[in-house]
Structure 1
Amino acid sequence: MNIQAAANALLEAEKTKTPISPFTSLVEQITAGDAYSIQLQVIQTKIEAGATVKGMKIGLTSKAMQEMLNVYTPDYGHILDSMVYEQNQPVDLTQFISPKVEFEIAFVLKEDLKGPNLTAEDVIRATDYVVPAIEIIDSRIKDWKIKFEDTVADNGSSAGAVLGATKTPLDGLDLAAVEMKAYKNNVHYDSATGAAVLGNPVEAVVWLANELGTYDISLKKGQFILAGALSKAVEIAEGEEYSADFGVLGKVSVSFVKAGVTK
């Protein structure tokens, strides 16, 4: 697999909003290692152009998302500063190809985390607080026809993140029991609990830190980690507003417009 050529193809697809064929459909074979190398090359190119890494996303941690995409192994991607949106800032849909929205719990770190062999206790100790979050996902792969290697190469299909304002310490908090209620234009359409994410979102962060540790990479103090969607992703259309009520963790919301159109 030509890593640089594949990375260039993804960058061009993102720029032109013209998706490419799945890497897994090509004659040339692609491995999981190739896919992560492609992802890192894309991210490195953006960093060299001035972007900074603000956090990480963990994908495919819930049964709902695994079944939706027919991919059953967790993956990860990078969240850059250009991908982070404020709740009161309508998001322009024209910058995406086929975006969807999903709701997650985000961990903000107060110290570095580096695997392998980390435990849930290590993650809890390193976490400053958690916030409700929205991830905007998108696919530079045509028609979302992705297998594991495709979504990994495509930065875990990530495109944006919105963090809620309520900061909740983990002390005495049972994230598995936290209930999330999702709303589209103020109409309730889905519910889930934190247990949907690998039994407990903490375990997703454990997995990520240990997985990155095998590559001598650490999660950094001040970064946030999106632990994975609690329920299925939903396609976005112009003029829609999505919100989620996470109970004790607070609420998070985002609205979508097209360039030149005000909410």
Structure 2
Amino acid sequence: MTDATTSVAAAQAVRAAAARLLTAAAAGEPCAPVRDLIGADDVHAAYAVQELVTQARVAAGTAVTGRKIGLTSEAVQRQLGVDQPDFGFLFSDMAYLGGDVVPVGAVLQPRVEAEIAFTLASDLAEGRLDEAQVRAAIGHAIPALEICGSRISGWDIRFGDTVADNASAGAYVLGPVRARLDQFEPRVAQMTMSIDGVEVSSGTGAACVGDPINAVVWLAQKARELGEPLRAGQVVLSGALGPMRPVAPGQTVRAEISGLGSVTFTLDEPNDKEQV
């Protein structure tokens, strides 16, 4: 097989994987993993699929509102056989405010985790993109709940699957508190998360690759490397502070993050929602 033939076959596989995921999302029915098409750990192919899915969503009228960082837990990285996080895009139709009702059909196979979100006050496109620059670019920290979702049946994922599937992004909920980094230190934050009043997860800022700021540094560098730098006004979900848990229709999820307060949502039947 020539190099040209191999390249054509690889491009066809990427398009087929994107089509499979887009069809699953449109139908509301999970699909088979895409690693049979692109491999389980081909980072380049997985992000190429993610790019096609993102382009399709933007073409359909959905705006990019930021990024999410996944695989920030060392345990999850070991499970998937990788040594770095991944990222996906956030879109305007994923965004909810604390107290909102999130429709049951908004996220396939929903699982929830508590995170610290950051809003960017300036671009992260030039310079060293080190910790000092990232801290200076952050406008505020916000308590957040990420509702992860998988278009892949039974969450049967490997690294290539989750990257291709937009890092298993589903929806996100931002709380009411906004804190500057001179008022709040993410690394030492304490988190508890409950479902219907029962604690189901806990952790600290240090559980997110040592410091949520470290995750944003990684993302800023990776996003620029791939040609889509982080921009002012975007939201960044920095990664889970504790274990992810499944959530069922009718349940209410609440997270408390020290220094930031609480954020909550209910997964239930559709209502009009207020966009962030």
Q: 2:94 aligns with which of 83, 87, 90?
A: 83
Q: 1:38 matched to which residue of 2?
A: 49
C-alpha distance in structure 2 between counterparts of 1:110 and 1:57, whole Å: 17
C-alpha distance in structure 2 between counterparts of 1:222 and 1:259, whole Å: 28
Change (3 A) 1:68 1:253: farther
One-letter amino acid of the structure 1 residue matched with residue 92 of structure 2: D
Classify the secondary structure of the residue corresponding to 1:168.
Answer: coil
Instruction: Deviation per CA, 1:72-101: give whole Å up to 9, x if none.
Output: 531000000011112232111123331101
Change (3 A) 1:67 1:190: farther
C-alpha distance in structure 2 between counterparts of 1:28 and 1:82, whole Å: 28
Q: 1:186 matched to which residue of 2?
A: 197
C-alpha distance in structure 2 between counterparts of 1:190 and 1:32, whole Å: 30
Identity of aligned residues (%): 37
Note the residue ranges of structure 2 that are not aligned, 5 or more in a row: 1-9, 272-276
Q: 1:164 matched to which residue of 2?
A: 175
Query: Are 2:136 and 1:125 aligned?
Result: yes
Note the residue ranges of structure 1 that are not aligned, 5 or more in a row: none
C-alpha distance in structure 2 between counterparts of 1:237 and 1:220, whole Å: 34
Query: Are 2:128 and 1:112 aligned?
Result: no
Instruction: Deviation per CA, 1:154-205: give whole Å up to 9, x if none.
Output: 0000010101110000015321111011111122232211000010000000
Query: Are 2:54 and 1:17 aligned?
Result: no
RMSD of aligned Cα (Å): 1.9
Q: 1:213 matched to which residue of 2?
A: 224
TM-score relative to the length of structure 2: 0.88
Q: 2:164 aligns with which of 140, 153, 156?
A: 153
For 1:224-235, list aligned pairs within 5 A.
224-235=235-246
Query: Number of matched residues?
Result: 259
Q: 2:153 matched to which residue of 1?
A: 142
C-alpha distance in structure 1 between counterparts of 2:87 and 2:168, whole Å: 9
Instruction: Deviation per CA, 1:140-164: give whole Å up to 9, x if none.
Output: 1121111111000000000101011
